[in-house]
Structure 1
């Protein structure tokens, strides 16, 4: 329905059209200061999310769009494109008025954030996806309008499979920030019946476009700022992806262990080092003994990949020359690193420290 202008607004428009009428005043944009240094601020739409956080949210959900698109294509057995369209902040009331009625309105609860999120799927893409799951071709064409009715029970169950895929993809995307632990609380066809936050509350709207053949539709992820606020500080250009630690997969550890255990590394042992003259070397004969300056009680040095690793003693095993490992190589302690008033570590303490560092 078109807006109806009041009498004063009509008079203002007529006065602006007159050749000698008052010059139209250029509107002062929000945040721009006038000659007196006064800037306009709209309290109905406060900017609580910075541009840097908006950029971080965009980068985060670009990964979600790729992962959700791959999962949805696998479910539909055909190519479904999911493209991130925009990330913006607005009020919850504006978000509700922008939605169709009926629509697929899913209320999600994030346990770790103590708040709710909204995942809305447009009927323009929901019904083609349902048609595909029920054995149709590529769904209804672009010219076929979606049915003007709520989803049936069977259709709701099928859409629930898509919602589950989106929830799992969101949890994996957000795991670097927090463990969302999302759960589906409620599904409604009329968005006006669900009041998640007050209408003037700021929300972040992440809009996606879903394409199945010729059918296109929107999917909106609405995150109220009070839900996002506990982790809002982590959304920075270069730090948001560093939060959290991914737990190691036992299968990856087994594969890594097998790969490392089969790797070949060179080992070499130096028996002794001494200096001989050319005459002594020329006069050597079998049975001669060469004197060295190495202490036999210290043992030999076993190098792994050219680096000293263990102490060992020479010997023989089943007719082959062999060495027996007696312990790790003790690194010398720099006396400058020992604080004044503290005793220098003994050989046993250094050995324990070296063993702990190598474990």
Structure 2
């Protein structure tokens, strides 16, 4: 018998002599001690706590796991490309709008509950409600106080190199609201242009609010997509948030779920140009129909060399030009130099007038 087996036998013998059973617990615990046991820091990290602080300890780890599963929403790859396109367009339009060096960057694009975002917005701020006309729903744009005072300072001729002075604790003036509204209209126009390669959409400014309670465009528990933008104007700048509820994006959900390489939105301008050039240079056979007559099959089979057909059309009667089964033009037969020609008098199947071109057909 090996030493290990002798030790185990001695341990089991000791448990038989132990009346209160405490020895059994100690003997059984010995082989289990080698198993991996998580410490408190690892347990806190697994349940989502940060460093095991007291403020995190007040929340239940099970509640955190349940709530984290509820905010996991569908990812929209094309929407991220739209926002990247928005950043580039805004950089140009805001430079023209402010006559200053403007840099626009996107921090992140996240999905969250609408109510959670409204509760996290630091006040004071301005809430711009806009409507997507084609989608018949609303979106929200939030401009923080730093961005508000920066844009007012820039548009009213503030000196460069000095940070915009912020005066907290007072309502925004009419001039400040009007200047911020101009900024909002510029951003909404850029947002519409960002969606153009994907679909045609126009975002229309509705109203400007300073209280988040009056900017509730969706239920607090509904899901939304949040894009956080950072706008820098030398030493000035601020943040601008775009919030689009999933209900607003539902009409174009299938388009936003698509995944394309780069920012071509599934289109390749090189191949489009090449295809257009090849189509313009494609040769098409046109047939001039002088007359049509119904005939029996027996008469056609009885035809022999030397038989003649009598056309029911006169020499000045109009004829039709066809491409396959499609009738394109109507004209008259004539002669140009030593060739039989057809002059087009009317374009069929199109709303506008006659063509002044001549098409020749050799017989």
Name the structure 1 match of 2:247: 226
The 8 Å contact of residues 148 and 176 in structure 2, kept in 1 or not, is answered as: no
Following superposition, the deviation at residue 137 of structure 1 comes to 2.1
The SS at the match of 1:200 is coil
Distance in 1 between the 2:169 and 2:127 partners?
Answer: 15
Name the structure 1 match of 2:153: 131
Alignment of 1:150 onto 2:121: no
Following superposition, the deviation at residue 23 of structure 1 comes to 3.9
Shift in alpha-carbon separation, 1:138–1:150, aligned structure 2, 3 A: farther
The 8 Å contact of residues 110 and 117 in structure 1, kept in 2 or not, is answered as: yes
The 8 Å contact of residues 57 and 87 in structure 1, kept in 2 or not, is answered as: no
Moved more, 180-189 or 213-222: 180-189
Distance in 1 between the 2:232 and 2:105 partners?
Answer: 8
Distance in 2 between the 1:59 and 1:171 partners?
Answer: 14
Name the structure 1 match of 2:129: 107
The 8 Å contact of residues 210 and 216 in structure 1, kept in 2 or not, is answered as: yes
Task: Give the alignment partner of residue 207 of structure 1, picking from 208, 215, 228.
Answer: 228
Distance in 2 between the 1:104 and 1:71 partners?
Answer: 21
Greater Rg by CA:
2
Name the structure 1 match of 2:323: 352
Shift in alpha-carbon separation, 1:26–1:101, aligned structure 2, 3 A: closer
Distance in 2 between the 1:149 and 1:191 partners?
Answer: 17
Name the structure 2 match of 1:49: 74
Distance in 2 between the 1:22 and 1:151 partners?
Answer: 54
Distance in 2 between the 1:22 and 1:353 partners?
Answer: 79
Task: Give the alignment partner of residue 162 of structure 1, picking from 166, 171, 183.
Answer: 183
Following superposition, the deviation at residue 162 of structure 1 comes to 0.8
Shift in alpha-carbon separation, 1:350–1:185, aligned structure 2, 3 A: closer
Following superposition, the deviation at residue 42 of structure 1 comes to 2.9
Distance in 1 between the 2:121 and 2:254 partners?
Answer: 30
Following superposition, the deviation at residue 242 of structure 1 comes to 5.0
Shift in alpha-carbon separation, 1:357–1:95, aligned structure 2, 3 A: farther
Q: CA RMSD in A?
A: 3.7
Task: Give the alignment partner of residue 212 of structure 2, picking from 191, 196, 199.
Answer: 191
Alignment of 1:90 onto 2:115: no
Shift in alpha-carbon separation, 1:217–1:45, aligned structure 2, 3 A: farther
Structure 2 stretches lacking a partner, 5+ long? 1-36, 49-64, 268-276, 288-318, 330-346, 348-363
Following superposition, the deviation at residue 182 of structure 1 comes to 1.7
Distance in 2 between the 1:242 and 1:76 partners?
Answer: 30
Shift in alpha-carbon separation, 1:231–1:139, aligned structure 2, 3 A: farther
The 8 Å contact of residues 60 and 173 in structure 1, kept in 2 or not, is answered as: yes
Paired residues, number? 233
Following superposition, the deviation at residue 178 of structure 1 comes to 3.3
Distance in 2 between the 1:45 and 1:218 partners?
Answer: 27
Cα distance per residue 1:147-192 (max 9 Å; x no partner): 4433211111111111111111111111233333322222111223
The 8 Å contact of residues 101 and 191 in structure 1, kept in 2 or not, is answered as: no
Shift in alpha-carbon separation, 1:148–1:119, aligned structure 2, 3 A: same
The 8 Å contact of residues 321 and 327 in structure 2, kept in 1 or not, is answered as: no
Shift in alpha-carbon separation, 1:49–1:140, aligned structure 2, 3 A: farther
Shift in alpha-carbon separation, 1:127–1:210, aligned structure 2, 3 A: same
The SS at the match of 1:234 is helix
Distance in 1 between the 2:244 and 2:161 partners?
Answer: 30
Distance in 2 between the 1:169 and 1:88 partners?
Answer: 21
Structure 1 stretches lacking a partner, 5+ long? 1-20, 31-39, 245-259, 261-303, 311-327, 331-347
